């Protein structure tokens, strides 16, 4: 079973997940960061002459716990490790059960990971994670999956994560997910 399969789950409220992670930050078990863009440069792709915005020298800024912010797009780091994790909490609506649900995704980043591919939101902005920000022990195997919808064919970018050992952060979140599933199924 892959890392993401272990931490993915069905939830009644994503706020419970966010609060769980925030509590870990409050207790000092995790450090939380936002992505700060310092400079944007306009460049032109030679292949199709498309103008794109390339973000240079992006930094991570610690999140001030005293600020009331809705955490749905942020980074986590363990104080004793160099690894960096990108966290997304997305919400959707289950029309069959007539209830909202949240979807948790945690991705461990490798050196020079392309955040654009991980976020899958804005393909015009290429955001590269600086090498000195993380240890890069894990590597990505990118593959393009061809999909078809009403507008035609498109490629969905996905990633396989390779790992050498179990990670404390994933283990903590996986335990939390199992507990939430037990409450939901009970």
- Residue 49 is classified by DSSP as -
Distances, alpha carbon 185 to alpha carbons 12, 18, 180, in Å: 12, 21, 9
- The pLDDT tens digits of the residues spanning 44-98 come to 655 555 555 666 666 777 876 555 455 667 888 877 777 788 877 665 555 666 5
Closest C-alpha among 143, 170, 146, 185 to residue 1: 170
Every domain of the chain and the residues it spans: 3-36+59-120+130-185
- The pLDDT tens digits of the residues spanning 103-143 come to 666 777 776 777 767 766 554 556 666 655 554 433 333 34
Element (H, E) at 27: none
Closest C-alpha among 58, 54, 59 to residue 125: 54
pLDDT of residue 45: 59
Output b/e per residue, 52-76; b: 16+ Cβ within 10 A. Answer: eeebeebebeebeeeeeeebeebbb
Q: What is the DSSP string of 29-43?
A: S-EEEEEE--EEEEE
Which residue shows structure tokens 């863009």? Answer: 37
Neighbours of 141 (CB within 10 A): 9
C-beta separation of 120 from 88 below 8 A = no
pLDDT of residue 176: 66
pLDDT of residue 8: 54
Closest C-alpha among 85, 77, 142, 99 to residue 13: 99
pLDDT of residue 12: 47
């Amino acid at each position: 079973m892959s890392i993401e399969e272990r931490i993915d789950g069905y939830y009644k409220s994503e706020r419970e997940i966010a609060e769980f992670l925030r509590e870990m930050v409050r207790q000092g078990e995790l450090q939380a960061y936002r992505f700060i863009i310092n400079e944007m440069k306009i460049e032109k792709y030679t292949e199709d002459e498309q103008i794109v915005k390339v973000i240079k020298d992006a930094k991570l800024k610690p999140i001030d716990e005293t600020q009331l912010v809705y955490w749905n797009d942020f980074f986590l780091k363990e104080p004793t490790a160099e690894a960096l994790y990108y966290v997304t909490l997305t919400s959707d609506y289950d029309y069959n059960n007539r209830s909202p649900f949240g979807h948790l995704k945690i991705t461990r980043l490798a050196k020079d990971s392309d955040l654009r591919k991980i976020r899958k939101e804005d393909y015009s902005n290429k955001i590269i994670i600086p090498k000195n920000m993380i240890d890069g022990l894990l590597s990505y195997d990118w593959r393009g999956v061809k999909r078809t919808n009403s507008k035609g064919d498109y490629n969905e970018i996905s990633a396989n994560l390779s790992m050498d050992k179990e990670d404390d952060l994933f283990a903590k979140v996986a335990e939390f997910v199992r507990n939430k599933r037990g409450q939901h199924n009970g």
